[in-house]
Amino acid sequence: MKIDIAYLPGDIKQGNLSNTVCIVLDIFRATTTIVTSISNGCRTIIPVLSTEEARDLADRIGPALFAGERQSIKIDGFDFGNSPFEFSREKVKDQTIIMTTTNGTTAIKATEGAKCTLIGSFLNANAVCQKALKHGKNILIVCAGTDGLLSLEDTLCAGFLVDILSEQPDEVIHLSDSARGALLMYTAVKDRLLQTVIKSRNGERLYNLNRLDDISYCLQSNKLKIVPEYVKGRIKLS
């Protein structure tokens, strides 16, 4: 079994993904928020690429809530931004949410055609790895990045997943250089994750928006055991 990483959605090779399991990461904050929302009873999340597409979709499917941000700021007129703390059980249970974010929803949709696409984060790291392994296929970890550039927090979470995946006693695991590099980065700073990512571009942005609570929450490891899956344009509990 091969483990590889696409540090950006654009790094996904244009080959056939039908025999590959993808795990999408956008730690600050889309995939963390999706995992939280599904854990809190959200029925489904539909990722789209633009506000116009979101509104057009709502007109077609009926009542839905809107979630989205641009450069970490909630979109005007939307019900939610992109902070996981907004997606409480009281607000999202049994709801359909249409979501558009700067980077995360683009990364999710870039994996269409994969054997399956799982939504990952630090929160459900072990659960998403075990789910991926059950398919017995090559695994591609897809990092959302930011505005076409590598994001440190996504890379470190990818390294965390590689660490979990490579410790399977019953699997012969082959790591690509990309996977090995992310693992080395994670191993070097795993005991000081908060201090490391708060100095990153997205960490500084959230800190300056007084969202240190979001940063801390997004870095919690293995707090949730659920795995959302993207199937036929919708994200639901796997």
pLDDT level of residue 14 (50, 70, 90 thresholds): low
Domain boundaries, the chain: 2-237
Count of C-beta atoms within a 10 Å radius of residue 91 = 16
Per residue in 178-195, pLDDT tens? 999 999 999 999 999 999
CATH number of 2-237: 3.90.1560.10
Which carries the bigger pLDDT value, residue 35 or residue 15? 35
Count of C-beta atoms within a 10 Å radius of residue 226 = 17
* Average pLDDT score over residue span 46-52: 96
Per residue in 63-75, pLDDT tens? 999 999 998 899 9
- pLDDT over 90 percentage in the chain: 93
Per residue in 205-230, pLDDT tens? 999 999 999 999 999 999 999 999 99
145: left (phi over 0), alpha (psi -120 to 50) or beta: left
Averaged confidence pLDDT in the chain: 95
Examine the pLDDT at 163 and tell me if it is beyond 80: yes
Q: Which of 122, 128, 124, 152 is nearest to 140 (CA)?
A: 128
* Average pLDDT score over residue span 5-26: 91
pLDDT value of position 16:
78
Q: Which of 95, 101, 98, 83 is nearest to 36 (CA)?
A: 83
pTM of the model: 0.96
For the ranges 5-9, 14-18, 159-163, the lowest mean pLDDT is seen at: 14-18
Q: Which single residue is written with the structure tokens 């929160």? A: 123
C-alpha distance from residue 139 to each of 22, 79, 156, 208, 236 (Å)? 6, 34, 17, 35, 20
pLDDT value of position 171:
76
